[in-house]
Amino acid sequence: METISENACFGGTQGVYSHTSASCNCDMTFGLFLPEEAQDGPVPLLWFLSGLTCTHENAMIKAGAQSWAAEHGIALVFPDTSPRGEGVADDDAYDLGQGAGFYVNATQAPWSSHFKMWDYVTEELPNLLEQNFALDMKRQAITGHSMGGHGALTIAMSLPGRFRSVSAFAPISHPTASDWGRKQLSAYLGDDQSTWAPHDSTLLMREKGFDGPMLVDTGTKDQFIDLLQPEALAEAVNTRRQQAVLRLQPGYDHSYFFIATFMEEHIAFHADALYA
């Protein structure tokens, strides 16, 4: 693992690191904020999974998360959204290829040789973090935005017991029934739609749910709201009687201004679960 940068940040340290990934068969970069408390021992960890076109850097710089994480003594990890580099498959469209990993393990060419983001986020990067930093991996929570909200919800529901809480900002909630999902899932996983279902939070909510608190915010002026389908997730939550707070925020769009506005509430929500 290589240290790219480390900066003092709200009493703690905001670092950026790179490493050779066995899952993605390329070098991967991630950001990690460690609060001051990490100097004295392991601290809880909150994952932030970013959306389409983003790298590790977008949320790290724009979300305003570090100040609130420092207040609660919580570490933040910002993984990249896909493999990158020479020889990594890409597409001219912004919603497929580099920057658009969709947090799945691709099985179809040309994506299958690098696009193993599920394994990277759920296995490889957690192991790397545990081995190298003062983190309490028994106290984890997860959140994300858009494509990353999709990833946060599907990962949390698929790995019972791993995360104490889950939240999302404007998640892609029903990708198997949306143009933001059908295109990518068919490209990465093939035409057998049974392989898509484990990556659809609405379907997972109907089947499994999440054993813990859930918080989801979506803006009423989100320019992609028809693709996100928050109503599908809400219906599944109601049918399952899942513990959840689903909010439509009047006037907010899909931008990082929206994320930054509600980040304090999301981190406080996770802090309640992580320190319970």
Look-up of token digits 């919580």? 74
pTM tops 0.95, yes or no:
yes
Predicted confidence band at 275 (pLDDT cuts at 50, 70, 90)?
A: very high
Domain count for the chain: 1
Question: How much of the chain is helix, strand and coil, in % rounded to 5?
Answer: 40, 25, 35
The residues assigned a catalytic role are 146, 222, 254
pLDDT at residue 248, as a whole number: 98
Q: Domain holding 178: CATH number? A: 3.40.50.1820
Backbone φ and ψ for 40, nearest 5 degrees, come out as -105, -10
- Contact criterion met (CB below 8 Å) for 172 and 149: yes
pLDDT tens sequence across 211-228: 999 999 999 999 999 999
pLDDT at residue 22, as a whole number: 98
Task: Find the domain containing 36 and state its range.
Answer: 2-275
Mean pLDDT on 102-112: 98
pLDDT at residue 262, as a whole number: 98
How many other CB atoms are found less than 10 A from the CB of residue 128? 17
Which of 155, 222, 185, 200 has the alpha carbon at shortest distance from 95? 185
pLDDT tens sequence across 34-75: 999 999 999 999 999 999 999 999 999 999 999 999 999 999
- How many CA atoms, within 13 angstroms, populate the side-chain half-sphere of residue 98? 12
pLDDT at residue 77, as a whole number: 98
**Cα gap 62→81, rounded to integer Å:** 16
- Contact criterion met (CB below 8 Å) for 66 and 76: yes
Backbone φ and ψ for 17, nearest 5 degrees, come out as -135, 150
Tokens of 109: 């060419």
